[in-house]
Amino acid sequence: MKPEEIQKIAETEHDLRMSYKYRINVCCSSGCLPFGAQKLLKAFEDTIKELGLERVCKVARTGCVGTCSVAPVVLIDPGNHLYQNVKPEDAKKIVQEHIINGQVLEEYLYKNEAYFSKQYRLILRNAGKIDPLRIEDYIAVGGYSALAKALTQMTPEQIIYEISLSGLRGRGGAGFSTGQKWNFVAKSTAKPKYIVANLDEGDPGVFANRTLAEADPHAIIEGMTIAAYAVGAEKGFIYIRAEYPLAIQTLKKAIEQAKSYGLLGNNILGSTLNFDIELRLGAGAFVAGEETAILSSIEGLRATPRPRPPYPAVSGLWGKPTLINNVETLANVPLIILNGGTWFSKLGTPKCTGTKCFSLTGKVKNPGLIEVPMGITLKEIVYEIGGGVPDGKKFKAVLVGGPSGGCLPESMLSLPIDYESLTQAGAIMGSGGIVVIDDESCIVDTARFFIDFCMDESCGKCIPCRAGLPKVREILDRIMLGEGKVEDLKVLEELCYLIKDASLCGLGQTAPNPVLTTLNYFKQEYLAHIVEKSCPAKKCILKKVEVVKE
């Protein structure tokens, strides 16, 4: 296939798309499927057929719209009308009123303006708008034109220059400059080179990468292929956890389609680029998402991290230079190529450009997957997008950065979201998990919950993390039982610093964050448990007297 042919398909598909007066997008992603999305899709298709509206209205299956809390949802274009909690029985009525009579059905409408108004959907621009299982849908909205541009009009150096100019930083958590990373790999002379797209997403309650793969798989493939051209790689792996069956299916199909269109394989778009992508399924361990652990896993070994240096860019898969990027990072790439690095660098903040997807969960009115410009404040996320704490409860804390994130209090809500500010406050960007905690939750219990998670997920390779986290948990357990001593807090803190500073990989290095931040911002709650033997949230049952300790 030639670039012109892609252009051709884009035009035909676009025209086809435009030929419909209406488009009913039925979300069939993981959040809506359990609520009968398949049946709903069928109901709409049947209704349209029954009423002979096939030429007027297109019914399409799409990826997540981002409002999974009101699943299943249907998005009708033009006008971006989002219907919530739609049942198959409602299909007739909606088609009758909306498609035939042109009347929007207010009672089904998702009315939460604020939820979307503060968002900036760049990565998720196609989510809910295209059929992820049709490559033509992606091409119709401009897909693969960035690849065509890169291959025909740009040199690898120019691509890396644009990526560097954009200020794009890794969305996998650490925020390393993507341009710099690409440059390292490009400069390595060893052959072959590999690319790994990280879709392990092992954090509990985080689902941004899965959603992306389910909604817009070709964006990932296109980003990877451009990266391959830029760094000189021949082979790519998408490392995805086996617990994501729909995302796996979707990606598999997408790779097949890309291959059949000559967008993967040899001489891509008539250029000299040969590049292939293979899926690798992980067995679902949090630590398997760590970049060096992925390498081991793909090589067929235990997924345990390796010390760096050597960095994967120099010695990665089978000792060869390997580029590892998060899938969200990669999905940014086509946009940067199309619109230029300068355009991208103006989004977000100067040091932290672009947007970021967050999985907003916990005690908020509107949980869901959101995408916001960098630099937005936590307050805007929790109160405006999230709608605040439901059921008249009070806000207590927000955990930013997944299980090894930091627990921040109300006073920190004006914090802008960027790598540096978060790190300074004791939290991390992580994979973009935000959990809102209300005043019914005990802070010690919350910290213990996350320590428990990291303890279970520790690979056991290094001692601070493997042997330290169980001790941290033991002390928290004691405090929650009312057996804690004031001295315990010091031991706890010292242990946390050891684990943070001396552990091998990011898991251990960040695991103490929930404890350290709560010790910093909520010390009085710990002391209440220890000194007054009471739990402010009335969650922990504290033993007043312990038999052995008199």
Partner 1 sequence: MSERIVKLIIDGKEIFAKPTDTILKAAIDNGIQIPTLCYLEGLTPHGGCRLCVVEVKGNPKLMTSCTTPVSNNMEIITNSPKLIKYRKQIIELLLAERIHTCSVCIANGSCELQELASKFGVDHTNVSRNWERFELDMSHERFVLDHNRCILCTRCIRVCDEIEGVHTLDIKRRGKDSMIIVDLDEPWSASYSCTSCGKCSAVCPVGAIYVKGKPLSETKRKELPKFITERRRR
- Measure the CA–CA gap between 286 and 304, rounded to whole angstroms: 11
Bond preceding residue 470 cis, omega within 30 of 0: no
Cβ nearer to ligand SF4, comparing 245 with 310: 310
Least distance (Å) from ligand FES to the CB of residue 208?
A: 11
Which neighbouring-strand residues pair with 435? 361, 399
Residue 29 touches which of partner 1, ligand FES, ligand SF4, none (Cβ within 5-8 Å per kind): ligand FES
- Measure the CA–CA gap between 396 and 410, rounded to whole angstroms: 7
505 touches ligand SF4 by CB under 6 A: yes
Residue 71 touches which of ligand FES, partner 1, ligand SF4, none (Cβ within 5-8 Å per kind): ligand FES
With contacts defined by CB under 6 A, name the span among 30-38, 129-137, 319-327, 346-354 that binds ligand FMN: 319-327
- Measure the CA–CA gap between 377 and 421, rounded to whole angstroms: 11
* Interaction mask 297-336, ligand SF4, x per CB under 6 A: --------x-------------------------------
Cβ nearer to partner 1, comparing 292 with 325: 292
C-alpha dihedral sign at 26, 28, 29, 35: positive
Least distance (Å) from ligand SF4 to the CB of residue 469?
A: 8
| SS3 category, 418 | coil
Interface pick for ligand SF4 out of 459, 515, 530, 535 (rule CB under 6 A): 459
Look up residue 165 and give its two tokens. Answer: 């100019």
465 touches ligand SF4 by CB under 6 A: yes
How big is the site for ligand FMN, counted in residues (CB under 6 A)?
A: 23
> Kindly report the CA angle at 416 between 366 and 353, in degrees rounded to 5?
100
- Measure the CA–CA gap between 360 and 401, rounded to whole angstroms: 11
Let me know: does 444 contact 479? Beta carbons within 8 Å. Answer: yes
C-alpha dihedral sign at 175, 180, 184, 185: positive
* Interacting residues with ligand SF4 between 13 and 42 (CB under 6 A): none
Nearest to 130 by CA among 117, 120, 143: 143
Tell me the HSE value of 326 on the side-chain side, using a 13 A CA sphere. Answer: 28
With contacts defined by CB under 6 A, name the span among 180-188, 309-317, 456-464, 486-494 that binds ligand SF4: 456-464
Bond preceding residue 312 cis, omega within 30 of 0: no
DSSP 255-294: HHHHHHTTSSBSSGGGSS--BEEEEEEE---GGGGSHHHH
Token look-up 């809102």 returns 436
503 touches ligand SF4 by CB under 6 A: yes
Tell me which residue has its CB nearest to ligand SF4.
508
217 touches ligand FES by CB under 6 A: no
| SS3 category, 308 | coil
Least distance (Å) from ligand SF4 to the CB of residue 447?
A: 18
Cβ nearer to ligand FES, comparing 76 with 407: 76
458 touches ligand SF4 by CB under 6 A: yes
* Interacting residues with ligand FMN between 281 and 300 (CB under 6 A): 286-287, 289-291
Residue ranges binding ligand SF4 (CB under 6 A): 287, 305, 458-462, 465-466, 503-505, 507-508
Residue ranges binding ligand FMN (CB under 6 A): 170-174, 176, 198, 200-202, 286-287, 289-291, 324-326, 329, 431, 505-507
Residue ranges binding ligand FES (CB under 6 A): 27, 29-32, 64-68, 71, 73
